[in-house]
Amino acid sequence: MHRSDPKFQGRIVHVNLGRRSYPIYIGSHILPDFGPFFTQNCPSKHAIVVTDDNVKPIYAEMLLNSLAEQNLESHLVSVPPGESSKQMAVLEHLYDKMFDFAAERSDCVIALGGGVIGDLAGFLAATFKRGLNFVQVPTSLLAMVDSSIGGKTGINHPRGKNMIGSFYQPKMVFADTDTLKTLPPRELGCGLAETVKHAIIRDAGFFATLEQNTQAVTTLQKNTLIDLVERNCQIKAAVVSADEHEAGLRGILNLGHTVGHAIETTLKNLDFHHGEAVSLGIVAALRLALSRKLLDERSAQKILLLLQKLQLPTHIQGPINSADLYQAMLQDKKVKHGKINFVLPTGIGSCDFINDLSEPEILTAVDSLTQPAT
């Protein structure tokens, strides 16, 4: 490290993407010290901070103060919280604001918030004046362990989630785990579903650590959280570094998402949040893996138990129309030549792509979600 570099009291994970490589800073109560790390990683002198109306009153001032301490100019714009802000009308409003703020290509868009803000602000940064600098300050667990890493940005289209977007890497990610103290518990669960996903696909040791620490995780023990975010980032960074644009390997991150996305789009009345739908999608993947004898019963039980201990849903109460869900799966971005490409666990810490599952096999697995998991 250069002598004048600020000292960082926390963990740093590097995302290796050649010239587009960047660091992820992880620590407790690091937001007040954001400014020096920003200047170290991003040449911009003017920042446009994009946040939402829940996060703004809690964290915006802290971030703006730390920028001001470095003599950086900044502007703040806030949008309504929730997935509905990932739409064209909100993006147009943000483009207008960029003109109001006289934003230039050398400036930086900073996303301060959960995954919605990261996706929206990232796409703003990728497209305004053909792209300006971008930095992520994730404040939800889901954003810290998943969506802020890897450069996926975008908005929804009335006919499909995340259908308009681009790959656009940030200059750095800065995750203060203390911000999770104000995160609603249900949102914490969403990040935990992606955490379990990462452990299943890549890391049996991490899975065992999670099994032993469910209490410490759900009660937000400081060091447990830092370890958890760091391990997630290492796993996701390794996958993304190997396959930035999802030509192959990166697809393993879709474990639980094929059925999960279909649940989100089809069962709107049940109001599952993303991570909850992913938890159910993981259960469906377990059932498919069991029926194909790719996974042993004991591992499947362990995964179910961990999801339950983390208070994630493992079954759907009430009837569902599995044919509707199947139709939604066929609309998925990952469908190739009409074949649904599933990621199925082959053990704890390993998985495989399976693309020859028949419609009846998939319908049976989806229908099984209405049975309480035992």
Interacting residues toward ligand ADP by CB under 6 A: 52, 54-55, 58, 81-82, 113-117, 139-140, 142-143, 147, 179, 182-184, 187, 190, 274
Active-site entry in 171, 198, 250, 287: 250
Neighbours of 307 (CB within 10 A): 24
236 has catalytic annotation: yes
Dmax (CA) of the chain: 63
152 has catalytic annotation: yes
Output b/e per residue, 279-300; b: 16+ Cβ within 10 A: bbbbbbbbbbbbebebbeeebb
Distance CA 50, CA 79 (A): 8
Tell me how far, at minimum, the Cβ of 338 lies from ligand ADP, in Å.
30
Give the closest residue to 108 by CA, choosing from 156, 73, 145. Answer: 73
Tell me how far, at minimum, the Cβ of 139 lies from ligand ADP, in Å.
4
> Which C-beta is closer to ligand ADP: that of 83 or that of 367?
83
The H or E element containing residue 45 is none
Helical residues (DSSP H) of 185-256, grouped into ranges: 185-202, 204-212, 214-218, 222-242
Tell me how far, at minimum, the Cβ of 253 lies from ligand ADP, in Å.
15
Q: Strands, DSSP E only, in 10-124?
A: 11-15, 22-27, 46-52, 73-79, 108-113
Neighbours of 222 (CB within 10 A): 15
83 has catalytic annotation: no
298 has catalytic annotation: no
Give the closest residue to 51 by CA, choosing from 39, 61, 42, 43. Answer: 61
254 has catalytic annotation: yes
Tell me how far, at minimum, the Cβ of 72 lies from ligand ADP, in Å.
23
> Which C-beta is closer to ligand ADP: that of 133 or that of 179?
179
Distance CA 76, CA 22 (A): 24
Tell me how far, at minimum, the Cβ of 246 lies from ligand ADP, in Å.
19
93 has catalytic annotation: no
> Which C-beta is closer to ligand ADP: that of 152 or that of 231?
152
Active-site entry in 41, 156, 171, 194: 194
Helix axes 185-202, 274-291, angle to 10 degrees: 30
Tell me how far, at minimum, the Cβ of 79 lies from ligand ADP, in Å.
10
Active-site entry in 2, 3, 7, 130: 130
> Which C-beta is closer to ligand ADP: that of 35 or that of 275?
275
Active-site entry in 56, 171, 197, 236: 236
250 has catalytic annotation: yes
Active-site entry in 46, 198, 231, 274: 274
Give the closest residue to 179 by CA, choosing from 191, 161, 193. Answer: 191
> Which C-beta is closer to ligand ADP: that of 129 or that of 181?
181
**CB distance 14 to 237 below 8 Å:** yes
Tell me how far, at minimum, the Cβ of 119 lies from ligand ADP, in Å.
8
> Which C-beta is closer to ligand ADP: that of 188 or that of 286?
188
Distance CA 292, CA 286 (A): 10
339 has catalytic annotation: no
> Which C-beta is closer to ligand ADP: that of 10 or that of 113?
113
Active-site entry in 254, 264, 273, 287: 254
Task: Give catalytic residue positions.
Answer: 130, 152, 194, 236, 246, 250, 254, 257, 261, 274
